[in-house]
């Protein structure tokens, strides 16, 4: 079998913040790819504004570097399980996976998730123990953890014989030994390990064309662009070829442009062949998973398997009293079109109409997945309202089941008791508990996904901000009955409209935690804080102090209130109960009751209590 020794295709996979994007930066810098005068920005592959702000990779990126006589196509993948759809697709494009593991943290929930996807795809693994110079690094123990994880996930004998490199991506050093003092000022060991161990793609370019769309891109000049790998054959600009649609139909089209990747650029090319990762344009309604093949010998590749969504929430056109004041995209039609457009590039997302006017159910892989979408929309000028997230139930073998997640908690020892207690109340089952040294304990649980909705805030309070919580989808299991998790405290709800005043907020803050300060425009039914009691409390936050000519004896005191708690988008979504919406605009995040009128809401509450 003839192979293309001039090329290697590899994905970089890891848990969040273990250094994938930083490693890609170093490989770009130290390869024979970019001119010496070119300066590479920090985390150059994270080009999306939200990615750079949050320090996470959301969308898979591909680049190519030149090392000696070999072109190495590198695909940087997300580390968070909510973007697992990206990881799954990428595994179909590569022959190997470089697994990056933090030398201090070791294997984490997302390490397990991304490695499982790589092993299922049958790719050749390489392990890089990163941050070898980090204080407290324990490379030997971490390598044992990695080996145990490979065995636990059912790796083949060939996959268990993985090569290991030790590195500090931040410093651009690496070596074959786990002693930090023996790190070399080069990434050559990483390059050499890739070239030696990752299989070169098969060169069957003399056969008929097969090319599968794995990612989608967009260009203002040429429209939609399909990105993927050529599995066999070759393609040239001007060729007439066939798209094998997901629904089984075929569509002929002419290739108008081809693009290859080199460094940080997408360059126009004239032809490509088996083993190349390229982008192709010429057809506007192409979708992920579809096969492009020779017109005279069209044969579809197997469809890409993507784990289905596990969480959903309703996106509703904004109808609050402040609707249309801050956004530019405010009509229901524009919101619907934008949501449908998102499904064309995000295979893990599903959008369906509901029986409610101007409302759509959007299903995704988790809270982060959906909140990132909301953040993108608000930055584009959209206004919308969001319902409380709900897990998606499935009937399996005649039994109704719900999603469960593997949860890993790293916390200082003094908070272990409260964490175990709170997760137990959320129906979590402890699987393991061990001391990791330095006064830290690692806890592992199996928890129903609905028990984790809104838990992050409580967890951070319990551990005084020192705890680390990671979770990833594990399985579907029988529904836990007679249990309805949710917020324990009620809300402080405004009874009128107008600007809030310090005078009124002073009396209200005794009843709970405020979310707004003075001078904020509110409306009736808007949530202005969290009640200290279980039930909602209707409050007046717009009342002013009556002015008189009588001056009180003694010294005047400046009115002051405590600093209100400003909710992030994720915190606002987590706060929601079933009778509430989160109103999102380009400038504001507000919480409100679905029924704004105070009297009507009281009647509805009484009726619900009777039922």
**Predicted confidence (pLDDT) per residue in 134-172, tens digit:** 898 999 999 999 999 999 888 999 999 999 999 998 899
Residue 487 confidence (pLDDT) above 70: yes
Question: Distance between CA atoms of 450 and 405, rounded to whole angstroms?
Answer: 10
Q: What pTM was estimated for this model as a whole?
A: 0.76
Question: Distance between CA atoms of 91 and 85, rounded to whole angstroms?
Answer: 10
**Phi, psi angles (nearest 5°) of residue 485:** -70, 155
pLDDT of residue 461: 81
Residue from 11, 16, 8 nearest 472 by CA:
16
Question: Distance between CA atoms of 108 and 32, rounded to whole angstroms?
Answer: 34
**Domain 394-478 -> CATH class:** alpha beta
**Residue 179 labeled ligand binder:** no
Residue 213, class by beta-carbon neighbours within 10 Å (0-12 exposed, 13-18 middle, 19+ buried)?
A: buried
pLDDT of residue 552: 53
- Mean pLDDT for the stretch of residues 358-378: 88
Question: Distance between CA atoms of 217 and 592, rounded to whole angstroms?
Answer: 37
Percent of the chain topping pLDDT 70:
90
Residue 507 confidence (pLDDT) above 60: yes
Residue 556 confidence (pLDDT) above 60: no
Residue 59 confidence (pLDDT) above 60: no
pLDDT of residue 198: 93
The lowest-confidence range among 26-35, 66-75, 97-106, 337-346 is: 26-35
- Mean pLDDT for the stretch of residues 222-227: 77
**Residue 269 labeled ligand binder:** no
pLDDT of residue 482: 86
Question: Distance between CA atoms of 478 and 399, rounded to whole angstroms?
Answer: 7
- State the pLDDT confidence band at 591, using cuts at 50, 70 and 90: very high
- Do 63 and 24 form a contact (C-beta atoms < 8 A)? yes
Name the superfamily (CATH) of residues 7-197: P-loop containing nucleotide triphosphate hydrolases (3.40.50.300)
pLDDT in tens, 305-330: 666 788 899 999 999 999 999 999 99
Question: Distance between CA atoms of 376 and 315, rounded to whole angstroms?
Answer: 14
pLDDT of residue 33: 58
**Residue 21 labeled ligand binder:** yes
pLDDT of residue 219: 67
Three-class HEC string of 380-444: CCECEEECCCEECCEEECCEEEEEEEEEEEEEEHHHHHHHHHHHHHCCCEEEEEEEEECCEEEEE
Question: Distance between CA atoms of 121 and 94, rounded to whole angstroms?
Answer: 9
- Mean pLDDT for the stretch of residues 283-292: 80
Residue 46 confidence (pLDDT) above 50: no
Name the superfamily (CATH) of residues 210-294: Translation factors (2.40.30.10)
**Residue 22 labeled ligand binder:** yes
- State the pLDDT confidence band at 14, using cuts at 50, 70 and 90: confident
State the pairing for strand pair 399-412/440-448. antiparallel
- Mean pLDDT for the stretch of residues 573-597: 93
pLDDT of residue 302: 84
Residue 584 confidence (pLDDT) above 90: yes
Question: Distance between CA atoms of 142 and 369, rounded to whole angstroms?
Answer: 29
Residue 527 confidence (pLDDT) above 90: yes
- State the pLDDT confidence band at 132, using cuts at 50, 70 and 90: very high
Question: Distance between CA atoms of 542 and 77, rounded to whole angstroms?
Answer: 49
**Residue 7 labeled ligand binder:** no
- Mean pLDDT for the stretch of residues 221-234: 84
Domain boundary assignment for the chain: 7-197, 210-294, 394-478
pLDDT of residue 570: 82
**Residue 19 labeled ligand binder:** yes
What does the DSSP 8-state code read for residue 178?
A: S
Question: Distance between CA atoms of 97 and 198, rounded to whole angstroms?
Answer: 8
The lowest-confidence range among 67-76, 78-87, 508-517, 595-604 is: 78-87
Residue 278 confidence (pLDDT) above 70: yes
Residue 579, class by beta-carbon neighbours within 10 Å (0-12 exposed, 13-18 middle, 19+ buried)?
A: middle
Residue 427 confidence (pLDDT) above 90: yes
- Mean pLDDT for the stretch of residues 435-440: 82
Residue 114 confidence (pLDDT) above 60: yes
Residue 50 confidence (pLDDT) above 60: no
Question: Distance between CA atoms of 421 and 415, rounded to whole angstroms?
Answer: 10
Q: Whole-number mean pLDDT of the chain?
A: 85
**Residue 475 labeled ligand binder:** no
**Residue 471 labeled ligand binder:** no
């Amino acid at each position: 079998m003839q192979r293309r020794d001039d090329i290697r295709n590899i994905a970089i996979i890891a848990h969040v913040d273990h250094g994938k994007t930083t490693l890609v930066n170093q490989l770009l810098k130290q390869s024979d790819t970019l001119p010496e005068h070119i300066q590479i920005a920090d985390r150059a592959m994270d080009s999306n504004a939200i990615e750079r702000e949050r320090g996470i990779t959301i969308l898979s990126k591909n680049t190519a570097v030149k090392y000696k006589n070999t072109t190495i196509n590198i695909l940087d993948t997300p580390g968070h399980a909510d973007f697992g759809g990206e990881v799954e697709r990428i595994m179909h494009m590569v022959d190997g996976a470089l697994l990056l593991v933090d030398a201090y943290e070791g294997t984490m929930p997302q390490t397990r998730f991304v490695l499982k996807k790589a092993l299922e795809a049958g790719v050749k693994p390489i392990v890089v123990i990163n941050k070898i110079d980090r204080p407290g690094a324990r490379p030997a123990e971490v390598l044992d953890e990695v080996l145990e994880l490979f065995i636990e996930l059912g790796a083949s004998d060939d996959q268990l014989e993985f090569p290991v490199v030790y590195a500090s991506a931040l410093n651009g050093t690496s070596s074959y030994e786990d002693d930090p003092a023996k790190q070399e000022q080069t990434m050559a060991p990483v390059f050499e390990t890739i070239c030696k161990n990752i299989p070169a793609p098969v060169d069957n370019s003399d056969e008929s064309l097969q090319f599968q769309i794995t990612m989608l891109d967009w260009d203002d000049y040429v429209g939609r662009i399909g990105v993927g790998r050529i599995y066999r054959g070759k393609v040239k600009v001007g060729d007439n070829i066939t798209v094998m649609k997901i629904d089984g139909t075929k569509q002929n089209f002419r290739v108008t442009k081809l693009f290859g990747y080199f460094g940080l650029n997408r360059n126009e090319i004239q032809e490509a062949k088996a083993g190349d990762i390229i982008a192709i344009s010429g057809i506007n309604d192409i979708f992920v998973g579809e096969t492009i093949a020779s017109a005279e010998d069209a044969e579809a590749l197997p469809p890409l398997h993507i784990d289905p969504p596990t969480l959903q929430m309703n996106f509703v056109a904004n109808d609050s009293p402040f609707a249309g004041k801050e956004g530019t995209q405010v009509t229901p039609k524009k919101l619907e079109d934008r949501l449908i457009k998102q499904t064309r590039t995000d295979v893990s997302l599903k959008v369906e109409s509901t029986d409610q006017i101007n409302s759509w159910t959007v299903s995704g892989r988790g809270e982060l997945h959906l909140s990132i979408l909301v953040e993108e929309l608000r930055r584009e000028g959209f206004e919308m309202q969001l319902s409380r997230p709900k897990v998606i139930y499935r009937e399996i073998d005649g039994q109704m089941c719900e999603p469960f997640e593997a949860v890993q908690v790293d916390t200082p020892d003094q908070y272990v008791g409260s964490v175990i207690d709170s997760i137990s109340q959320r129906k979590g089952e402890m699987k393991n508990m061990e001391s990791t040294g330095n006064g830290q304990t690692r806890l592992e649980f199996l928890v129903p996904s609905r028990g984790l909705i809104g838990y992050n805030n409580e967890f951070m309070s319990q551990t005084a901000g020192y705890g680390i919580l990671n979770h990833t989808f594990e399985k579907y299991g029988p529904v836990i009955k007679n249990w309805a998790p949710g917020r324990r405290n009620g809300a402080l709800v405004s009874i009128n409209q107008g600007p809030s005043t310090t005078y009124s907020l002073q009396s209200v803050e005794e009843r709970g935690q405020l979310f707004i300060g003075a001078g904020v425009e509110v409306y009736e039914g808007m949530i202005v804080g969290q009640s200290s009691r279980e039930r909602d409390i209707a409050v007046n936050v717009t009342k002013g102090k009556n002015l008189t000519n009588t001056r009180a004896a003694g010294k005047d005191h400046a009115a002051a209130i405590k600093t209100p708690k400003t909710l992030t988008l994720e915190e606002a979504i987590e706060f929601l109960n079933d009778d509430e919406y989160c109103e999102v605009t380009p400038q504001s995040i507000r919480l409100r009751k679905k029924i704004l009128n105070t009297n009507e809401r009281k009647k509805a509450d009484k009726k619900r209590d009777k039922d």
